[in-house]
Amino acid sequence: KNDETLLVQSGKPVGVFQTHEWAPRVLLANSNLVGDWATWPEFRRLEQLGLTMYGQMTAGSWIYIGTQGILQGTYETFAAVAQKRFGGTLKGTLTVTGGCGGMGGAQPLAVTMNEGVCLMIDIDPTRLQRRVETRYLDEIAHDLNDAITRVLAAKAAGRALSVGLVGNAAQVLPQILAMDVPVDIVTDQTSAHDPLYYIPTDIDFADAREYADKKPEEFTDRAQESMARHVEAMVGFMDKGSEVFDYGNSIRDEARKGGYDRAFAFPGFIPAYIRPLFCEGKGPFRWVALSGDPKDIARTDQAVLDLFPDNDHLRRWITMAQERVAFQGLPARICWLGYGERDKAGLAFNELVANGEVKAPIVIGRDHLDCGSVASPYRESEAMLDGSDAIADWPLLNAMVNIASGASWVSIHHGGGVGIGRSIHAGQVSVADGTPLAAQKLARVLTNDPGMGVIRHVDAGYDQAVEVAKERHVHVPMLENGDYL
């Protein structure tokens, strides 16, 4: 009912309480553990008992939209790499990476969207084939020399191309390094955040799952040893001049545990490329058409382009997404918008619903990977200016302010992206149903949610965030009182 709230504890609907029409209809908490117990072994023990579940970020928050959800952020990241290092385009560059799963599978298309060449390594041929079928990957090779020949030809011609190579990244990457291949960018999105899903080099892929289930500690040790060799090769590329970054899967820390002492020689992608966007309150903004009609997404795409006609980067992304991105589940779209932009888009969508220009309400949410909703020292909050990497108050405040602002459902999770014990993060989703009440809620939520990103970075001492707060009238008492000076 409109005056009730459902509580969900790690996937279980544990209670319904009477609240009020401004309260969220659902509150979710997934994977959260007390500090000393926040370890993979303890999590797995509790999971086996049915007491918790791994919520990741958007999946346990009921706003997962498939690979498009990560594709746009990956596109933004590689665009930032291009801007910082390669003159604004990846044309004529070669990126080598690993992990073509649900998250990592976005990398080949993100690179080619930025006009570059990508060599994607994955030990599971079915993952590569699935990406070819969905047009995220262009070709598959089963031989390293063949793959290198293809990608170097495309690199020399300035032609965008992605090639998937069947192989173990920890084994193949050192081989490519030894071959002295001119690689421009190296990163990784294998399942390093959970060592039981990272395949060690000396274990057959077909046997890995059974081995991990029967001997998890032994498997973990061998996985970490392989990650040490994997990261050692990444550092080797960095030493040769390649642009190398951790893509938020904790492979550096796992490699450190595996005995490699230079594991943190290269940075994570957030401090290297994305933090300036976070200082503006900019981050992922996604929406879903509850009608199931792709035409509703086409109409909202146009609304966003009409709202921000001078944003050429946004126009390029949406145009390419319309051409290249297949919907998974309900039709959806994602783009990156900042403080002062998300509320405009949300209110415009609400008007489309009210006027009957779309067939049903639009659900608006975001990834937990956002400017003010995560504490993750190996990813979103890595290398904060004031050393506040591990301060977890911010995602909790983010969840609370979204509840207070009228979000439709709000979630607090632990361990997403980087693994158990390494992150706390929050998400919100709001429904644009065309009513005046929805408009009031959307205006508050979609202002306050990205506003958390601005104040979090003001508090950490970022000059850019201070300027944004002043220019866009974000109310920060300590800034106004001069306490941050």
Q: Cβ distance 433 to 361 under 8 Å?
A: yes
In total, how many domains does the chain have? 2
What is the residue range of 255's domain?
68-266
Distance in angstroms (rounded) separating the CA atoms of residues 59 and 50 = 18
Sign of CA pseudo-dihedral 145, 150, 153, 156: negative
Of 160, 105, 177, nearest in space to 136 by CA: 105
Q: How many CA atoms lie within 13 A of 264 on its CB side?
A: 9
Residue 326 has pLDDT above 90, yes or no: no
At 16 the pLDDT is: 98
Distance in angstroms (rounded) separating the CA atoms of residues 74 and 63 = 18
Q: Looking at the structure, tell me whether residues 444 and 376 fall in a common domain.
A: yes
Whether 47 is in a domain gets the answer: no
Q: Cβ distance 339 to 453 under 8 Å?
A: yes
pLDDT digits (tens, 9 = 90+) for 427-445: 999 999 999 999 999 999 9
Residue 31 has pLDDT above 90, yes or no: yes
Residue 412 has pLDDT above 70, yes or no: yes
At 485 the pLDDT is: 56
pLDDT digits (tens, 9 = 90+) for 414-425: 999 889 999 999
Question: For 302-327, what is the mean pLDDT?
Answer: 93
Q: Looking at the structure, tell me whether residues 333 and 249 fall in a common domain.
A: no
Interior angle at CA 484, CA 482 and CA 485, nearest 5:
70
Whether 206 is in a domain gets the answer: yes
CATH of the domain at 234: 3.40.50.10730
Distance in angstroms (rounded) separating the CA atoms of residues 304 and 422 = 35
Whether 237 is in a domain gets the answer: yes
Distance in angstroms (rounded) separating the CA atoms of residues 435 and 201 = 56
Q: Looking at the structure, tell me whether residues 278 and 258 fall in a common domain.
A: no
CATH of the domain at 412: 3.40.1770.10
pLDDT digits (tens, 9 = 90+) for 234-262: 999 999 999 999 998 999 999 999 999 99
Q: Looking at the structure, tell me whether residues 293 and 145 fall in a common domain.
A: no
Q: Which two tokens stand for residue 455?
A: 């104040």
Whether 334 is in a domain gets the answer: yes
Structure-token match 């306490």, residue found: 483
Q: Looking at the structure, tell me whether residues 302 and 253 fall in a common domain.
A: no
Q: Looking at the structure, tell me whether residues 463 and 339 fall in a common domain.
A: yes
Whether 149 is in a domain gets the answer: yes
Distance in angstroms (rounded) separating the CA atoms of residues 118 and 96 = 6
> Which of 217, 248, 266 lies at the terminal end of a domain, its last residue?
266
Whether 281 is in a domain gets the answer: yes
> Which of 266, 298, 324 lies at the terminal end of a domain, its last residue?
266
Q: Looking at the structure, tell me whether residues 100 and 247 fall in a common domain.
A: yes
Phi-psi region of 292 (alpha: psi -120 to 50; beta: other; left: phi over 0): left
Whether 1 is in a domain gets the answer: no
At 134 the pLDDT is: 87
**Dihedral of the alpha carbons of 176, 144, 170, 91, in degrees to the nearest 10:** 60
**Which residue of the set 100, 118, 279, 335 is catalytic?**
335
pLDDT digits (tens, 9 = 90+) for 46-75: 999 999 999 888 888 899 998 888 898 899
At 70 the pLDDT is: 87
Of 441, 411, 291, 361, nearest in space to 6 by CA: 411
pLDDT digits (tens, 9 = 90+) for 126-158: 999 999 998 899 999 999 999 999 999 999 999
105 phi and psi angles, rounded to 5 deg: -65, -10
Q: Looking at the structure, tell me whether residues 254 and 358 fall in a common domain.
A: no
335 is a catalytic site residue? yes
Residue 369 has pLDDT above 90, yes or no: no
Q: Looking at the structure, tell me whether residues 138 and 241 fall in a common domain.
A: yes
Whether 154 is in a domain gets the answer: yes
Q: Looking at the structure, tell me whether residues 333 and 431 fall in a common domain.
A: yes
Distance in angstroms (rounded) separating the CA atoms of residues 65 and 79 = 22
Question: How would you classify the pairing of strands 362-365 and 283-289?
Answer: antiparallel
Which CA distances in Å does 107 have to 76, 95, 396? 11, 9, 31
> Which of 227, 242, 266 lies at the terminal end of a domain, its last residue?
266
**49 CB-contact burial (10 Å; exposed 0-12 / middle 13-18 / buried 19+):** exposed
Q: Looking at the structure, tell me whether residues 290 and 387 fall in a common domain.
A: yes
Interior angle at CA 398, CA 396 and CA 437, nearest 5:
130
Q: Looking at the structure, tell me whether residues 282 and 261 fall in a common domain.
A: no
pTM higher than the cut 0.85 = yes
At 481 the pLDDT is: 76
DSSP state of 429: E
